[in-house]
Amino acid sequence: MHSEFDFQYAIENTTVLHEPDRRIDTFGSTTFEFQMISELMDAANKTRIRNGRIQADKPLIVKPSHPDEWNFEGFGEEGAAFGQWVKQHIKDLAILRYGFNFKRGEISEEVVHEPLAAVADRLKEDQRVSGNPMRAIIQGVDDTWEISLLRFTFEMIEKSHNINLFDFKRRGLLG
């Protein structure tokens, strides 16, 4: 079992060496390919390369339900007025929910006898040549590599959020 320190260490020592050109699609699912590289802890000049896919489900709009039934009893005049204001403006409040599916069966890995920096350079050059718009190259921590992958997914959500909000507003789905 990993400790909070292990999680923090993985988060702080994860670097996205190449991020996908595309973002999370607003109206459909998006599949990213990833290559995760990490140094083996117990061997010099050995690097593990994990290849896999991670799927982002389309973002969903989550809005509060039945605000007209919300009760603001027991508050003074200002509290009650604020409650009425919230009821009137709640239609403007929306949260986008993102979901990712991570399928372990789609992951392959290999250990190469090369330093991490050399493997990183080679993979970035391969990406430059292939031009795959959905590939990410991530440098992470070997024993907590899944935490490194989750950090990447949170970064993709953060970078996609404003685009997704704009798309929903443009289609009239959000005020």
Separation between Cα atoms, residue 137 and residue 35, nearest integer Å: 5
Q: If pLDDT is split at 50, 70 and 90, which confidence band does 159 have?
A: very high
Q: Can you tell me the mean pLDDT for 122-136?
A: 97
- 86 vs 136, which has greater pLDDT? 136
Position 105 pLDDT exceeds 70: no
Q: What's the token pair of residue 4? A: 């909070």
What pLDDT is recorded for position 52? 93
Please state, in angstroms and rounded to a whole number, the distance separating the CA atoms of residues 82 and 80.
Answer: 5
| Distance in angstroms (rounded) separating the CA atoms of residues 110 and 51 | 9
Q: Distance (Å, rounded) from C-alpha 120 to C-alpha 102?
A: 23
- Percentage of the chain exceeding pLDDT 70: 87
Work out whether the CA dihedral 111, 116, 121, 127 comes out positive or negative.
positive
Residues 136, 124 contacting (CB under 8 angstroms):
no
Q: What is the pLDDT of the chain when averaged over all its residues? A: 87
Better pLDDT: 143 or 2: 143
Q: What pLDDT, on a 0 to 100 scale, did the predictor assign at position 66? A: 67
pLDDT for res 92:
64
pLDDT band at 70; cut points 50, 70, 90: low
- Cα–Cα distances (Å) from 165 to 30, 38, 63, 86, 90, in that order, read 16, 35, 13, 21, 16
In angstroms, rounded to a whole number, what is the distance separating the alpha carbons of residues 157 and 140? Answer: 19
6-22 pLDDT, tens per residue? 889 999 999 999 999 99
CA–CA distance, 36 with 17 (Å, rounded to integer):
10
The single residue listed with the structure tokens 């909070």 is 4
pLDDT value at 111 more than 90: yes
Q: Which of 160, 142, 167, 122 is nearest to 32 (CA)?
A: 160
- DSSP-assigned letters across all residues of 106-141: G-EEEEESS-HHHHHHHHHHHHHHH--TTEEEEE--
Model pLDDT, residue 69: 66
Query: What integer pLDDT is reported at residue 74 of this predicted model?
Result: 66
Stronger pLDDT, 71 or 20, i.e. the higher one:
20
